[in-house]
Chains A and B, each alone.
Chain A
Amino acid sequence: MTAAVSTGGVKPAKRGRGFLAPTILPGFGTAFGFTLFYLCLIVLIPLGHMVLVSAGVGWTRFWAITLAPRVLHAFYISFGCAFVAALVNAVFGLIVAWVLVRYRFPGRRIIDAMVDLPFALPTSVAGIALTAIYAPNGWVGAFAKAAGFKIAFTPLGIIIALVFVGLPFIVRTVEPVLQDLDAEVEEAAASLGATRWQTFSKVLLPAILPALLTGIALAFARGVGEYGSVIFIAGNIPAVSEIVPLLIVARLEQYDYAGATIIATAMLGLSFLLLLAINFLQRWTRSRHAR
């Protein structure tokens, strides 16, 4: 689980410093060497090995497996649901963060603690809890059934699960930046004639956008990789509500190691590309701040 939540907007941009130029901070060489070694051990070697294995299978087989309709649909569900959930969280997480920062009310601490629950809870617990409520015989599920649609065992159920696990990422990244924003800035906007909406869209949102994007990226990444909370509520119906991680596990259970590895590699590549894209987006918004 990601414990180190970086807070987009508040970090001052580093001044350019030539690589390996003399610096006042001691031990750069050692620390840098350690960082490289550590990253290799933890991240690069296992992932690299996976890529190698799937490369050994050959391109034709690679494409045949990844472009199979069931696999494609699973990708679509995994990334699509994670994306929608991240956007939903962007809106409501922002409101939650806003309320927590700007208002003092009884029970604030409890709500504050509740936000972190999805971090701390084993995801399978979340999955069971959500399924119990949203299944057709559950509290909310029964209402939905009466209204003529299903929540659990559909992509909608997956989105709900991912909203649940993604919420703290948005709240915790946006919160410090909101705290940092002076209420006086909003008052200044008002005294200059801005409406509430103008104040929000022209003053607040641009100021928190980098942090919000970081939060969205984290929630999205978490959503793409989420397994525990989703498998219960999703029902895992092939080509309807099946996510990629589940597909990989299914292949493994059938002893199809090569197939599992190939899907995993494709997942890795896609995730990496997306994170890279989001990173560039963040850079761009942050550079407009020119702190």
Chain B
Amino acid sequence: MAIEIRNVEKTFGAFTALGGVSLDVRSGELLALLGPSGSGKTTLLRIIAGLDHADAGEVSFDGQDTRDRAARDRQVGFVFQHYALFRHMTVFDNVAFGLRVKRKAERPAEMDIRRRVGQLLDMVQLSHLATRYPSQLSGGQRQRVALARALAIEPKVLLLDEPFGALDAKVRKDLRKWLRHLHDDMNITSIFVTHDQEEALELADRVVVMNHGQIIQVGTPTEVYDTPADSFVFDFLGGVNRLNGIVDKGVARLDGHPVRVDGEVGPEGPALIYVRPHQVELGVAPADGVPEGKWSARVSMVHAAGPVARVELDLSGRALEAQLSRDRLSDLALQVGSWCTVDFRHARVFPARA
């Protein structure tokens, strides 16, 4: 099901939680809502589910306005940030709940309910825990019960609020992959909230970046990562070096040397140069001075665990981080205290704020 969100606004007292948000969610896609804490992600999700009402604007499902459709009639599966399981019910009864509260005419026979719940529990790999109570489960297991419960009503839309928020890194990774498969198998439109950029970029078809109740950028993971709309998105999507430079006659300069820039250079004056660590190119410093157009830096730290090495550098008083392969690192024979040349493959320039 496609979801159109038009100019949705929501205020709590004097505070604007959502300031005119518009978004088209395509049928069958897995969309990530990414943003820092308090940016309005949960609020938007709750409005889509009908748990909260927008002050202005509209949300429609497949072209139909949802204003008069209560949460219970929306066929939206909602997985809460803190699971919100029914703690006096077993895992089985939790999952069966949505089927058992259906109107008499639509309610499946008890036998069909058992079969369906059995299938769902198989799918989330919890069949062996069907008679347990939520308090007897681990966090990841509760998470999967919440998911199975939401899926039991065969929703057209699945909304997940920080589905992996409270879990440890390993379980997160597993559940992530698993959710992706599930989404593809079920042919469902899913939106999940996260403030973990890695999760959003890895899992989603498209990523929506939010800040202060506004949508800043919408795009595929590659788009938002490679061409961030502004400095906030650039910053938020993972490690970045921010260097104070200057724009002079249309050329960005760092310590006098020109910087190769993607896109606009922006207005004249002080500027911030953004470079991702893996776009920093290091080279062996020649004995007779530094080549034209390059910077030189001193190595202050080398982290060589894992496939990618991180090198911390001192570039005339500024901290700079570079990422390079382990092979490249050994070619360069970098050590703490040694010198090297620095160049930037890609950089973006944003005006420095006063």
Contact = CB atoms under 8 A, between A and B. Distances in A.
Interface string B79-90: 010101111110
Given A187-B71, A289-B133, A290-B133, A192 B101 contact: yes
B78 A188 contact: yes
What bracket does the count of chain A residues touching chain B fall in? 20 to 34
B135 interface: yes
B86 A291 contact: no
Interface string B42-69: 0000000111000000000000000000
A192 B51 contact: no
B72 interface: yes
Nearest to A289: B88
Contacts of B133: 289-291
A207 B86 CA distance: 8
B40 interface: no
A79 B128 CA distance: 48
Interface in A206-229: 206-207
Interface stretch (A26-34, A58-66, A130-138, A193-201): A193-201
B77 A191 contact: yes
A7 to B, nearest CB: 16
A279 to B, nearest CB: 19
Q: How large is the interface on B (under 10, 10 to 19, 20 to 34, 35 or more residues)?
A: 20 to 34
A46 B71 CA distance: 60
A40 interface: no
Q: Is the interface of B mostly helix, strand, loop or mixed?
A: loop
B102 A184 contact: no
B98 interface: yes
Nearest to A190: B71
Interface in A151-196: 182, 184-185, 187-195
B101 A198 contact: yes
A202 interface: yes
B72 A193 contact: yes
A195 B152 CA distance: 17
Most buried by A among B87, B98, B153: B87
Contacts of A291: 87, 133, 135
A289 B87 contact: yes
Among A192, A207, A289, the most chain B Cβ lie within 10 Å of the Cβ of: A192
Nearest to A186: B84
B101 A184 contact: no
Given A184-B80, A207-B88, A291-B133, A191 B97 contact: no
B33 interface: no
A289 B84 CA distance: 16
B154 to A, nearest CB: 11
Given A192-B101, A194-B101, A202-B101, A187 B153 contact: no
A250 to B, nearest CB: 47
A288 interface: yes
Interface in B86-128: 86-89, 97-98, 101-102
Given A182-B82, A184-B82, A189-B101, 10 more contacts: A184-B84, A187-B84, A190-B51, A191-B49, A192-B149, A193-B102, A202-B101, A207-B88, A289-B133, A290-B133
